[in-house]
Amino acid sequence: MIAAWMAYSTAVGVLLGVGAAALERVARAYGWPGRWAWAGAVVGTAAAPVVAWLGGGEGGGGGPGGAVALGPVEVIVPGVGPEVMATARPVLEALNGPLAASWIVASAAFALYGVVAAVQLRRRRRGWLLDAVEGERVLVSRDTGPAVAGWLRGTVVLPEWALALEPGWRRLVVAHEREHVRAGDPALLALGLFARALFPWNAALWWQVRRLRLAVEMDCDERVLRAHPDVRQYGALLIEVGRRASLSGALLATLSEPRSFLERRIRRMVSGRGRRRAAQVLGLVVVCAGAVVLACETPVPERATGARTTFEEQSVEGLSLPPEVEAPPESPSEFRSPLPPAASREELPRAPVPTPFTVAPELKNRAEVQRALERYYPPLLRDAGIGGTVLVWFFIDETGKVESSLIKESSGHKALDEAALKVAEIMQFTPALNRDEEVPVWIALPIEFRTVLR
């Protein structure tokens, strides 16, 4: 369901944005660049749905074949319940078409805007003159800049009025734009715009890109002030440039930014770094780490596979008949033919072949396992009415003791998979028998988490 994936991506973006805001404050306190915190948040927000989609529903790697299939273990707890989800699912699925169409149109509009802006920039550049100002090769325009044109190999662009500034101000203007080029800021901003064009519906991503632009400018201000530490002169220059802001366009990194940005930049320069309080820094680090952990643990929506899920939805005509089974031989001597030898404990986990057995193992403490699963059911998923089925493979020895376990088919939710694996320590099985001999085997056990209406 596209709506669920959009909500998931936005939630992850909000959490990563909170973490980036906390990390940026820590960076500012120590004089470190703050833009990388927001660049990481942008990349993480854009990558999260892609990684979750590609990784959803995959097993935990290969395992030996021929596992003995046992009946599922179900854990049912109060929650939103399947009744509510059954009502919401058709509504969400009905939105798939309109949301997908809107997504494509919006992304195409962003792409078209980028192409048009690039064409316009190319046309305007034909009228710009190449000159050398303060030792820097610049393009002189009539009304564009101060800015950097180009994302990879940027060129400083100055408007004609900037050339008439007093030498000290003109030197600062060129130094600011030169720092943008040297630090690769245009490419970083291009990354943010590209991510926003891919996911134009993600409000959290828009916020992150805006904060990335502000962080880029603040970092540039700090670098310029290290070489030219006259804060009063630099602040006056920012106000003058903001007052005479020129046409820039989407494909230019500019010295002039929105008025709210200008106020924050000047306030930052005047206030300085301030005192570093260990408790405050530690608190910010905890907030950052907690936000990232919550983003990683955000429940991933189910992938729509189109498969029917209940027996009532299956038509009898669509079911295939089971293969015919030959009648057992009447000669008693045929029953006395020896069974294939059982695999040893050392060989079994590495051998992808069925283990010969005559009596399958059984789970002895099913009720105890169900109670344990109720305790392990992640509260966040339980309260949201989110469930799933985990197919777990267990290797049990000759006594029925679980020696190892692995996820064969994931539920799509890491927390549910981990809860299913936790019960391995308390599971008790009857041993598998090959005739009268107890043998080690792999077993496949589905563990289902479900909620019911309160």
Asked whether 197 and 47 are in contact (CB, 8 A), the reply is: no
Residue 200 has pLDDT above 60, yes or no: yes
Q: What pLDDT digit, counting tens, does each position of 59-69 carry?
A: 444 444 556 66
Q: Does 96 map to a domain?
A: no
Task: Give me the mean pLDDT over the 83-87 stretch.
Answer: 53
Q: Would you state the pLDDT for residue 191?
A: 95
Task: State the pLDDT confidence band at 262, using cuts at 50, 70 and 90.
Answer: confident
Q: Does 39 map to a domain?
A: no
Task: Give me the mean pLDDT over the 103-125 stretch.
Answer: 93
DSSP β-ladder status, 68-69 and 441-453:
parallel
Closest CA to 261 of 309, 320, 221: 221
First-residue to last-residue Cα distance in the chain: 25
- Please give the angle made by the CA atoms of 96, 8 and 106, to the nearest 5 degrees: 50
Q: What pLDDT digit, counting tens, does each position of 202-237 carry?
A: 999 999 999 999 999 999 999 999 999 999 999 999
Task: State the pLDDT confidence band at 314, using cuts at 50, 70 and 90.
Answer: very low
Q: Which of 147-161, 255-269, 352-366, 368-382 has the lowest mean pLDDT?
A: 352-366
Distance CA(249)–CA(417), nearest Å, equals 49
Share of the chain above pLDDT 90, in %: 41
Residue 52 has pLDDT above 70, yes or no: yes
Counting the structural domains of the chain, the total is: 1
Task: State the pLDDT confidence band at 44, using cuts at 50, 70 and 90.
Answer: very high
Q: Would you state the pLDDT for residue 336?
A: 40
Q: Does 417 map to a domain?
A: yes
Domain region containing 387? 68-84+344-453
Q: Does 409 map to a domain?
A: yes
List CB contacts of 231: < 8 A, sequence separation 6 or more. Answer: 225, 269, 270
Task: Give me the mean pLDDT over the 326-354 stretch.
Answer: 46
Q: Which residue has the higher pLDDT, 58 or 453?
A: 453
- Please give the angle made by the CA atoms of 218, 223 and 229, to the nearest 5 degrees: 105
Q: Does 349 map to a domain?
A: yes
Q: Identify which of 85-94, 215-224, 268-277 has the greatest average pLDDT.
A: 215-224
Share the mean pLDDT of the chain.
81
Q: Does 412 map to a domain?
A: yes
- Integer Rg of the chain from CA: 32
- Please give the angle made by the CA atoms of 135, 136 and 139, to the nearest 5 degrees: 135
- Please give the angle made by the CA atoms of 183, 202 and 59, to the nearest 5 degrees: 95
Distance CA(175)–CA(189), nearest Å, equals 19
Output the pTM of the full model.
0.67
Angle of helix 35-55 versus helix 185-198 axis, rounded to 10 = 40
Q: Does 238 map to a domain?
A: no
Tell me the CATH number at 385.
3.30.2420.10
Q: Would you state the pLDDT for residue 304?
A: 47
Q: Which of 178-182, 287-291, 334-338, 405-409 has the lowest mean pLDDT?
A: 334-338
Task: Give me the mean pLDDT over the 435-441 stretch.
Answer: 87
Based on the number of CB atoms within 10 Å of its own CB, is 212 exposed (0-12), middle (13-18) or buried (19 or more)? Answer: buried
Q: Does 291 map to a domain?
A: no
Residue 83 has pLDDT above 90, yes or no: no
Q: Would you state the pLDDT for residue 102?
A: 96
